[in-house]
Amino acid sequence: MLTNIKINEERLWDSLNEMALIGATDKGGVNRQALTDLDKQSRDLFISWCKKENLSISIDQMGNIFARREGKNNALAPIMSGSHLDTQPTGGKYDGALGVLCALEAIRTLNEFNYITEAPIEIVMWTNEEGCRFPPAMTGSAVFSGLHDLNDALLIKDQSGTTLGSELARINYNGSTICSHRPIGGFIEVHIEQGPILEIENKNIGIVTGAQAQKWYEINITGMEAHAGPTPMTIRKDALVASAEIVLLVNSIGNNFQPGGCATCGVLEIANPSRNVIPGNCFLTIDFRHPIDKSLQKMDKELRKNIKLIEKDKKVEIEIKQILELKSNSFNKSIINTIKDVSNNLNYTSKEIISGAGHDAVNINSIAPTAMIFVPCIDGISHNEIENIYKEDAIRGTEVLLHSIIELANNSSKIINN
Amino acid sequence: MLTNIKINEERLWDSLNEMALIGATDKGGVNRQALTDLDKQSRDLFISWCKKENLSISIDQMGNIFARREGKNNALAPIMSGSHLDTQPTGGKYDGALGVLCALEAIRTLNEFNYITEAPIEIVMWTNEEGCRFPPAMTGSAVFSGLHDLNDALLIKDQSGTTLGSELARINYNGSTICSHRPIGGFIEVHIEQGPILEIENKNIGIVTGAQAQKWYEINITGMEAHAGPTPMTIRKDALVASAEIVLLVNSIGNNFQPGGCATCGVLEIANPSRNVIPGNCFLTIDFRHPIDKSLQKMDKELRKNIKLIEKDKKVEIEIKQILELKSNSFNKSIINTIKDVSNNLNYTSKEIISGAGHDAVNINSIAPTAMIFVPCIDGISHNEIENIYKEDAIRGTEVLLHSIIELANNSSKIINN
């Protein structure tokens, strides 16, 4: 390890803070949803920073941005690192931006030290990772990996009916580079943990060995609208009461599949709600996760079995549609070992960990050797305006990334596919 | 009873259908919410019909419209009849409009027969009966009756933050007549039953003897937003799970207070909902009704006691605010008896009934002798686009109204306050 090469800590921290001004909320968070004007501003700023570092920029049909630094041998596949700049509506400063700006800081450091790696290096910013405005999540990296059809992705609509493709064109990020995978020597994504484990166990670095399996669902509940006053309780077909039963069912399935299970209803909408109308139609989303594929299948079975009972009991019709399935994931052992060695050499404490959240790295893992570095976040909180990290943890994560990139870019032939 | 005077059945039915075109929905219902452009159109049409009958129009500060037909002795307090023209977002053709247009048909008939009553007669259209856009319901008649402060009512906001007062001005219905009660000899409101009882018991006319007590609440639930993936089930503070518990609690309270109890959550909103974010803040409305005041108090007690348990169990904060209270109501015996006699003389079957819904008549009952006539509606459905009535029932209700008005207007001195 080249111990003389060190990142510029203040430069890293300043860039994180400057990026966090775009979409900053009163409560200290960031609301910078995919393909809004604010997303465009963050992309423009990122590109201006990359151009200062003499990186060559390319933008693909999904608006994914690649910033390339040439190596000594440019026939080698690049080592790639990055994450996303879009956020949840109640997002924080670091979910996504950290991974992009750690990679930028690594490049800035290499430039400062005039250090040229063997293989080229690319920073990437993936489009629409959060999926809150244009579900499902991680669309940019999914299309790049061939897991999602380009044209389908461009036609995804937000709640107002606007398509992802038209918004991409509106903010001028509908690039011309074909969005499809090409040889990548290795991919590392730095990300905040978004959970409490590293903090509770007092570890500096999370070495992510894989990701949980996921299933997302959309549920439509159809009952009968009627006046809340003169409609006797016994003849009601209340879609909200049925929805409430499903929310509690989902929560109990999460509790019953421990350790590791997570189950969440994030969206519940009543059609044409009114205080004195019995709800007739509801829309509900479900997010199921488990580290073990088989357990997730059992959660699915429990859900479907019990929804049938609720349907009968509450005299409503329930339509259940699975809209996303991710198998559990194992990352690349060579890259995991590189991260572990670098972390040990820097005398940081570390822990192997499974990601509960989905990440672009999970998609890229299907086409290239991939791993992730987790940085602890305070109280394990993310997707919340009070999401926060310690500066020292951001620095440590970036140092591990920098030296892992150097290691991999200089020895990319030694990366073995799992 | 003047058996030679009969309404024009086709004219009544045609006017109902013409009015139903304003805000007509694809599913055969009406979406004509208070103080929208569509509400203005319905008011303009109503006034144009009244002017053709040579009625004098006055509009008060709440936008309530009065259309007056002079009698032989105009020093006598008028006999008044009417209802509202605003609807729910998923409203039907008859909820409200029937009561206004039955009264108009009664006046048209008297004009046609050149029959002048002793006391003057007024048709009234009350503003914002539904309260779905500007809660609470029945604001126009409440301000008129002194039950709601005028300035407070004008400042009620819809979900976009627009005030009732500014919308009243925008559609040019901020009248100059002081909105305050004045002597009324008697008030009758015709309305669809909005419940299944008359249909089930095969009765033509509901003679409404009073109305249920009501309490409306607003509930705010505060938990903690966090990422749905890496946040273990055990440390969650899920505001939607707590809300679901409250929805089921409300439903079980309704079921436990039979006969007569009704309990409904009509609105549930998640703040900044996202599919992979644990909901941190929810807003919920509750509508409680019971014919007996004491039972409603017990429902209130059950609610508050159990919400405290949910708050503790789900590790969230729950704020409960009562925003409306209506005591149970007894209508005027003289007017009830008049309606009953007229109905018998016309050989219609009838039944005494308590209204489960709130009505403007309930407010007017606090300042003037009042009763209501219910017309059966198909399957008891209202606040739904498939709300429907039989033409024959509309005709029977209007005949009862016409002859009750004649009776009361000619003998207003005999109306005794309860």
Q: Considering A297, A326, A355, which residue would you say is the last residue of a domain?
A: A326
- Judging contacts by C-beta atoms under 8 Å, the chain A residues touching residue B158 are none
SS3 assignment, position B371: strand
- Asked if pLDDT for residue B418 goes beyond 80, the answer is no
- Give the closest of A245, A258, A272 to B89, CB-based: A272
Q: Considering A268, A292, A326, which residue would you say is the last residue of a domain?
A: A326
- Judging contacts by C-beta atoms under 8 Å, the chain B residues touching residue A199 are none
Q: Is residue A3 part of a domain?
A: no
- Asked if pLDDT for residue A418 goes beyond 80, the answer is no
CB of B262 within 8 Å of a chain A CB? The answer is yes
Q: How far is B72 from chain A (nearest CA, A)?
A: 40
CB of A270 within 8 Å of a chain B CB? The answer is yes
CB of B295 within 8 Å of a chain A CB? The answer is no
**Number of folded domains that form chain B:** 2
Are A47 and A162 in the same domain? yes
Q: How far is A60 from chain B (nearest CA, A)?
A: 27
Residue of A nearest to B238 (CA): A264
Q: Which residues have CB under 8 Å from A26's CB, separation 6+? A: none
Residue A409: name the closest of A186, A98, A244, A145 by CA: A186
- Give the closest of B224, B265, B275 to A266, CB-based: B275
- Give the closest of B194, B216, B277 to A275, CB-based: B216
- Asked if pLDDT for residue B356 goes beyond 90, the answer is no
Partners of B84 in the beta sheet? Answer: B126
Residue of B nearest to A231 (CA): B195
Q: Using one digit for the tens of pLDDT, what is the confidence trace for A314-336?
A: 999 999 999 989 889 899 999 99
Q: How far is A113 from chain B (nearest CA, A)?
A: 37
For B59-132, where are the alpha helices, taking DSSP H only? 97-112
Q: Is residue A2 part of a domain?
A: no
Neighbours of B350 (CB within 10 A): 21
Are A276 and A385 in the same domain? no
SS3 assignment, position A212: coil
Q: Which residues have CB under 8 Å from A138's CB, separation 6+? A: A126, A128, A129, A131, A358, A359, A360, A362, A363
Neighbours of A254 (CB within 10 A): 25
The per-residue pLDDT for A264 is 98
CB of B378 within 8 Å of a chain A CB? The answer is no
Q: Contact B266/A245, CB-based, under 8 Å?
A: no
Which tokens hold the place of A5?
A: 């090469």
- Give the closest of B266, B270, B274 to A275, CB-based: B266
Are B200 and B308 in the same domain? no
CB of A360 within 8 Å of a chain B CB? The answer is no
Domain containing A30 — which CATH number? 3.40.630.10
Q: Considering A326, A345, A375, which residue would you say is the last residue of a domain?
A: A326
CB of A57 within 8 Å of a chain B CB? The answer is no
CA distance A185 to A410: 11
Q: How far is B177 from chain A (nearest CA, A)?
A: 30
- Give the closest of A132, A248, A266 to B279, CB-based: A266
Are B126 and B199 in the same domain? yes
SS3 assignment, position B197: helix
Residue range A51-65: average pLDDT? Answer: 98
Which pTM value belongs to this model? 0.77
Q: Chain B neighbours among A 116-135 (CB < 8 Å)?
A: 130-132, 135
Hey, of B158, B231, B251, which one would you mutate to test binding to chain A, going by the most A CBs within 10 A of its CB? B231
The per-residue pLDDT for B243 is 98
The per-residue pLDDT for B213 is 94
- Judging contacts by C-beta atoms under 8 Å, the chain A residues touching residue B354 are none
- Looking at residue A292, the DSSP 8-state letter turns out to be S
The H or E element spanning position A96 is none
Q: Is residue B2 part of a domain?
A: no
Which domain covers residue B165, as residue numbers?
9-212+328-414
CB of A186 within 8 Å of a chain B CB? The answer is no
Q: Is residue A349 part of a domain?
A: yes
- Judging contacts by C-beta atoms under 8 Å, the chain B residues touching residue A240 are 247, 265-266, 268
- Judging contacts by C-beta atoms under 8 Å, the chain B residues touching residue A241 are 247-248, 251, 265
Please name the amino acid found at residue B21: L
- Judging contacts by C-beta atoms under 8 Å, the chain A residues touching residue B383 are 225-228, 274, 276-278
Q: Using one digit for the tens of pLDDT, what is the confidence trace for B33-90?
A: 999 999 999 999 999 999 999 999 999 999 999 999 999 999 999 999 999 999 999 9
Residue of A nearest to B257 (CA): A233
Are A185 and A234 in the same domain? no
The per-residue pLDDT for B380 is 87
Confidence tier at A13 by pLDDT (50, 70, 90): very high
Q: How far is A249 from chain B (nearest CA, A)?
A: 10
CB of B222 within 8 Å of a chain A CB? The answer is no
Are A98 and A46 in the same domain? yes
Hey, of A277, A295, A324, A377, which one would you mutate to test binding to chain B, going by the most B CBs within 10 A of its CB? A277
CB of A295 within 8 Å of a chain B CB? The answer is no
Q: Using one digit for the tens of pLDDT, what is the confidence trace for A225-244?
A: 888 988 889 989 999 999 99
Residue range B393-404: average pLDDT? Answer: 98
Q: Is residue B157 part of a domain?
A: yes
CB of A222 within 8 Å of a chain B CB? The answer is no
The H or E element spanning position A59 is strand A56-59
SS3 assignment, position A186: strand
Q: Contact B275/A132, CB-based, under 8 Å?
A: yes
Q: How far is A49 from chain B (nearest CA, A)?
A: 30
Q: Contact B274/A130, CB-based, under 8 Å?
A: yes
The per-residue pLDDT for A381 is 86
Contact A76, A120 (CB under 8 A): yes
Q: Is residue B179 part of a domain?
A: yes
Cβ-based burial of A267 (10 A; exposed 0-12, middle 13-18, buried ≥19) = buried
- Asked if pLDDT for residue A174 goes beyond 80, the answer is yes
Confidence tier at A358 by pLDDT (50, 70, 90): confident
Are A255 and A351 in the same domain? no
Confidence tier at B101 by pLDDT (50, 70, 90): very high
- Mean pLDDT in chain B? 96
The per-residue pLDDT for B223 is 97
Which tokens hold the place of A327?
A: 């198998």
Q: Is residue B4 part of a domain?
A: no
Residue A291: name the closest of A213, A193, A209, A195 by CA: A213
Which tokens hold the place of B269?
A: 């909103």
Are B273 and B188 in the same domain? no
Domain containing B317 — which CATH number? 3.30.70.360
Which tokens hold the place of A299?
A: 């959660």
SS3 assignment, position B85: coil
Q: Contact B231/A267, CB-based, under 8 Å?
A: no
Cα of B196 vs its chain's centroid, Å = 17
The per-residue pLDDT for A106 is 98
Are B165 and B45 in the same domain? yes
- Give the closest of B265, B276, B285 to A137, CB-based: B276
Dihedral sign for Cα atoms in the order B223, B226, B229, B235: negative
- Judging contacts by C-beta atoms under 8 Å, the chain A residues touching residue B275 are 131-132, 135-137, 216, 266-267, 285, 287
Are A292 and A353 in the same domain? no
- Judging contacts by C-beta atoms under 8 Å, the chain B residues touching residue A195 are 227, 229-232
CB of B248 within 8 Å of a chain A CB? The answer is yes
Q: Is residue A217 part of a domain?
A: yes
Q: Contact A356/B227, CB-based, under 8 Å?
A: yes
Residue range A254-262: average pLDDT? Answer: 96
- Judging contacts by C-beta atoms under 8 Å, the chain B residues touching residue A254 are 233
CB of B264 within 8 Å of a chain A CB? The answer is yes
Q: Using one digit for the tens of pLDDT, what is the confidence trace for A180-209?
A: 999 999 999 999 999 888 998 999 999 999
- Mean pLDDT in chain A? 96
CB of A86 within 8 Å of a chain B CB? The answer is no
Are A131 and A273 in the same domain? no
Q: Contact B235/A289, CB-based, under 8 Å?
A: no
Are A207 and A269 in the same domain? no
CB of A285 within 8 Å of a chain B CB? The answer is yes
Q: Using one digit for the tens of pLDDT, what is the confidence trace for A137-169?
A: 999 999 999 999 999 999 999 989 999 999 999
- Judging contacts by C-beta atoms under 8 Å, the chain A residues touching residue B240 are 247, 265-266, 268
End-to-end alpha carbon distance in chain B: 24
